[in-house]
């Protein structure tokens, strides 16, 4: 089983709640199955390797430069976000589930999420993989207080 950060699993747990999955005691395995299914499907779809998958699933985008991500890794991110219901078919955030997910990922910086979302919605890329990747990088860097130009 792939190593998945606790914050990421918590965020996905909330997303699954937003997707109206009933979460009761003992559903941790089901959440892990949803995450693992998305990871497996998106890994297969994009052809990235385990090391690349682990880098993405570590959820530390603000610590990495763009040169760490191949186009296939960016497409994995697009696929994964679509699979768990955080973004729409066009790659734009579905506001409520996306906001809630970000509040879990950045629980100590909730006040920075909406301003980051307003700023990062201005990211425009023709390639949907690039778009989602740059949007995610913008969100992570902006919330962390790093300078990030749109």
* CA distance linking residue 146 with residue 133, whole number of Å: 17
pLDDT, one tens digit per residue, over 39-65 is 999 999 999 998 888 888 887 665 667
Give the residue among 45, 63, 64, 61 at the shortest CA–CA distance from 132.
Answer: 61
Per-residue confidence at 135, pLDDT binned at 50, 70, 90? very high
Lowest mean pLDDT among 29-43, 66-80, 126-140: 29-43
* pLDDT computed for residue 60 by the predictor: 64
CA distances from 107 to 8, 44, 84, 140 (A): 12, 32, 20, 13
The DSSP secondary structure of 90-143, one letter per residue, reads TS-B-HHHHHHHHHHHTGGGGGGHHHHHHHHTT---SSHHHHHHHHHHHHHHHH
Judge whether residue 13 has pLDDT over 50: no
Domain at 28-144, CATH from 3.40.47.10, 3.40.50.1220, 1.10.238.20, 3.30.540.10: 1.10.238.20
**Stretch 12-24: mean pLDDT:** 43
* pLDDT computed for residue 22 by the predictor: 39
Judge whether residue 127 has pLDDT over 90: yes
Task: Please give the mean pLDDT across all residues of the chain.
Answer: 79
DSSP-derived 3-state class of residue 87: strand
Count of CB atoms situated within 10 Å of the CB of 7: 13
More confidently predicted of 125 and 63: 125
Contact by Cβ (8 Å): 94, 69: no
Question: Model pTM?
Answer: 0.75
Cβ burial of 15 (10 Å; 0-12, 13-18, 19+) is buried
pLDDT, one tens digit per residue, over 63-92 is 667 788 899 999 999 999 899 888 888 888
Domain boundaries, the chain: 28-144
Provide the β-strand partners of residue 93: 87
């Amino acid at each position: 089983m792939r190593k998945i950060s606790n914050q990421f699993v918590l965020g996905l747990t909330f997303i699954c709640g937003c997707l109206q999955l009933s979460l009761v005691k003992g559903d941790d395995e089901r959440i892990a199955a949803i995450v693992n299914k998305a990871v497996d499907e998106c890994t297969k779809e994009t052809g990235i390797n385990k090391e690349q998958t682990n880098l993405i699933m570590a959820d530390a985008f603000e610590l990495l430069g763009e040169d760490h991500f191949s186009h296939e890794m960016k497409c994995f991110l697009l696929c994964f976000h679509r699979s768990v219901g955080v973004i729409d078919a066009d790659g734009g955030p579905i506001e409520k589930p996306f906001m809630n997910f970000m509040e879990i990922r950045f629980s100590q910086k909730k006040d920075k999420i909406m301003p980051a979302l307003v700023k990062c919605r201005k990211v425009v890329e023709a390639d949907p993989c690039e778009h989602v990747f740059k949007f995610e990088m913008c969100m992570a860097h902006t919330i962390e207080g790093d300078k990030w130009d749109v």
